[in-house]
Amino acid sequence: MENFTLHRGSVPLLISLPHDGSFIPDDIAARMQPAARRSPDTDWHVGRLYEPLARRLGASVLKPKASRYVIDLNRPADGHALYPGQRETGLVSTIGFDGEALYLDGCEPDEAEVQQRVNEFWQPYHQALAQEITRLRDQYGRVVLWEGHSIRSHVPMLFDGRLPDFNLGTAAGASCAVPLQRELQHRLEHQARFSFAVNGRFKGGYITRHYGKPAAGVQAVQLELAQVNYMNEESFIYDAEKAALVQALIADLLEATLA
């Protein structure tokens, strides 16, 4: 079984959704706490938000099937921290965003299992990501990698208070050329419905930082959405009416990358 799906588009835009999956294999789920088996920290419904826009724009879309609890595709394979000095979940995390244990006592994965998950899930996703970036850049001379994410609006372990609605990250400007970041920020500033931050708490994860090389024709941008704007954060139920407003602004931002 393929552990990811890739739709190859016809414009220099690749949308990566590394936390869209919620599947946990039975042998892993059997060792997890009951609450963790629901994979509550999934970036719920980001595929549903992005895929209609991608089809309309002609963008490529890459997304996994497995949950971030199996392995976090937006972390380096060697397990190094993304935000040194701050509490965070890891490559194969043993805690969730609430700080609670994911595994039953004594059932955490060992180093051999972590490496097996890297081989089975992490490597194939990143190989597909790198190949699609290369294909688009070779064809068009440039490509924008758009990292689509979402998270609950309140996660005390990660940030204080309520998260802004739209959180744009460009690794503090290192993963994206100045004109594109300026245009994206301009479009966020000229709408009044949603709050936003640029390179705030979410500056971009491993994928944004690793693949974003503006001088080589690859720009990378991460967008972290507050889930409260398009779904019920307790039940995980999608709210199509609210989501339509979120999609409209995402579409405007994606169109800016192709302008």
Q: What domains, with CATH codes, occur in the chain?
A: 4-258 (3.40.630.40)
Report whether pLDDT(159) > 90: no
CA distances from 180 to 54, 129, 137, 187, 224 (A): 19, 21, 17, 11, 17
> What is the rounded CA–CA span in Å between residue 215 and residue 218?
7
pLDDT digits (tens, 9 = 90+) for 61-115: 999 999 999 999 999 998 776 666 666 788 999 999 999 999 999 999 999 999 9
pLDDT category, 34, cuts 50, 70, 90?
very high
Choice between 158 and 94, residue whose per-residue pLDDT is larger: 94
CA distances from 177 to 9, 143, 184 (A): 23, 12, 11
Report whether pLDDT(46) > 70: yes
Report whether pLDDT(1) > 60: no
What residues have CB less than 8 Å from 219, skipping those under 6 apart? 142, 143, 144, 145, 175, 176, 177, 180, 212, 257
Q: What is the pLDDT of residue 168?
A: 98
Report whether pLDDT(52) > 90: yes
What's the mean pLDDT in 37-46? Answer: 97
Q: Reading across the β-sheet that carries 218-226, which strands appear in turn?
A: 4-7, 60-64, 13-16, 143-151, 218-226, 166-169, 196-198
Could you tell me which residues are beta bridge partners of residue 64?
A: 4
pLDDT digits (tens, 9 = 90+) for 169-221: 999 999 999 999 999 999 999 999 999 999 998 999 999 999 999 999 999 99
pLDDT digits (tens, 9 = 90+) for 207-251: 999 999 999 999 999 999 999 999 999 999 999 999 999 999 999
By residue count, the chain amounts to 259
> Phi then psi for 166, rounded to 5 degrees?
-120, 125
Q: Looking at residue 161, what DSSP letter applies?
A: S
Query: Cβ distance 107 to 31 under 8 Å?
Result: yes
pTM value is 0.96
Q: What is the pLDDT of residue 90?
A: 87
Choice between 84 and 50, residue whose per-residue pLDDT is larger: 50
Beta strands of 79-201 (E only): which ranges? Answer: 143-151, 166-169, 196-198
**Tokens found for residue 202:** 């979410």
Closest among 139, 178, 113 to 186, alpha carbons compared: 178
CA distances from 139 to 9, 134, 212, 251 (A): 12, 8, 18, 23
Q: What is the pLDDT of residue 55?
A: 97
